[in-house]
Amino acid sequence: MDAPSDLLDERAQRVLEFERAWWGHSGAKELGIRREFGWTAARYYQVLNAVIDTDVAVRYDPVLVGRLREVREDRAERRRTRRAGATGAA
């Protein structure tokens, strides 16, 4: 049997399931977040980012977590590039 630390808690499972359902869809995701969790979008993404940083989330859904980590890193890289370009401009 799995140890409790090897299991994804219910909240984390709900977040990953919600994210899986919204993957590739546009639309009122913020409204969906508010309805499903009662959170702001900012809070949802704080929780999502914490969840995808765990090994247990990777074991739960390695493809989804890998994709979410990649998207996060791509966005972070774009922000770094934008800042570097802005500081180097005359």
| Averaged pLDDT for residues 11-31 | 89
- Residues 27-68 have pLDDT tens digits of 789 999 999 999 999 999 999 999 999 999 999 999 999 999
| CA 38 distance to own-chain centroid | 17
The predicted model scores a pTM of: 0.80
Alpha-carbon distance of 28 to 24, in angstroms, equals 13
| pLDDT for position 5 | 60
